[in-house]
Amino acid sequence: MRQYSPIEQRLLNDFQHGLPLSPTPFADIASELGVYETTVLENLKRLQTEGVISRIGAVFRPNRVGASTLAAMMVPEQDLETVAAIVNDFAEVNHNYERNHRFNLWFVVVANDEESLQATLQEIESRSGIKVMDLPMEQDYFIDLGFKMQWT
């Protein structure tokens, strides 16, 4: 198992919430950690390249800024990787995952507005040749996905 440096541990644990709202958030983090901004950026890039983290940025309540939806597709097993790659090519898709279900590819799409959202879903259908089921949120439930990392 990979050992994480003290800087990596702090980045992964201490900044799950409260990314500084400033023109220089990474410099602010660096100042708090007592390192250079380039050190913070290099460590975050490495963690992202390794797949430890997928993105760094704000998380907004759904549909408060722009439009979003959960979507699902029934993809033939032999085409799953190809279709997942097509879906991942869209900047509007912030994650997707496989499920053990007839609707086996699920993803979240976020766009500037409802029109752009629907255009993205239609383009995914067009490129993949597979119908996309749009599952807009009816009621939101806040789930805090941050958690204290345990380093052994």
Helices 25-33 & 6-14 angle (0-180, nearest 10): 120
Domain count within the chain: 2
Q: What are phi and psi of 125, to 5 degrees?
A: -60, -45
Q: Tell me: do 74 and 17 sit in the same domain.
A: no
Q: Tell me: do 117 and 78 sit in the same domain.
A: yes
Q: How far apart, in whole angstroms, are the C-alpha atoms of residue 38 and residue 147?
A: 26
Q: Which domain holds residue 103?
A: 67-135
Single-letter code of the amino acid located at 137: M
CATH code of the domain in which 109 resides: 3.30.70.3460
Of the chain, the end-to-end C-alpha distance in Å amounts to 11
Residue 126 falls inside a structural domain: yes
Q: Tell me: do 92 and 128 sit in the same domain.
A: yes
Name the stretches of the chain with pLDDT < 70: 58-65, 142-145
Question: Residues 118-145: pLDDT tens digits?
Answer: 999 999 999 999 999 999 888 777 666 6
Mean pLDDT over each residue of the chain, to the nearest integer: 88
Residue 26 falls inside a structural domain: yes
Q: How far apart, in whole angstroms, are the C-alpha atoms of residue 123 and residue 32?
A: 43
What local confidence, expressed as pLDDT, does residue 15 receive?
A: 86
Residue 62 falls inside a structural domain: no
Residue 102 falls inside a structural domain: yes
